[in-house]
Amino acid sequence: MSTNPTTAHAKACGKMPESYNGKPEAHKGFKTQMKVYLRINKDIYTTDKDCCLFILSMIQDGGWVQLYVEECMEDMINKNKFHKIDDLWTQLDRFFTD
């Protein structure tokens, strides 16, 4: 994982998760951190759209991983169709660990 340039929501509780760099060995830790953070802040991240965009915005590496995530976000925004959280995790698990 890397230094986190993203700032927390002003009303968020708990430690902000570290950004994810796309390395398979760091995926499980990132996923766990994100699930805990989103659960603690369920009053802030109230929709699948909010959660998906936040999760994807925390995946940063400046290379191919960044391109993949930006493409995914762009597709969801353009179609105004956002994944359910579990479906997004399934997709990310497949992409980053398989």
Q: Assign 4 a pLDDT band (cuts: 50, 70, 90).
A: very low
Domain boundaries, the chain: 24-97
- Average pLDDT of the residues of the chain: 88
pLDDT of residue 3: 41
Residue 39: predicted pLDDT: 95
pLDDT tens-place string over residues 13-39: 888 999 999 999 999 999 999 999 999
**Lookup: tokens for 10:** 């002003």
The answer for residues whose C-beta is within 8 angstroms of residue 37's C-beta and 6 or more apart is 12, 14, 15, 16, 17
Instruction: Give the mean model confidence (pLDDT) for residues 40-50.
Output: 94
Per-residue pLDDT, 8? 60
pLDDT of the residue at 63 = 87
Q: Above 70 in pLDDT, residue 5?
A: no
Q: Which two tokens stand for residue 26?
A: 């760091």
* Angstrom distances, CA of residue 11 to CA of 31, 40, 47: 22, 11, 17
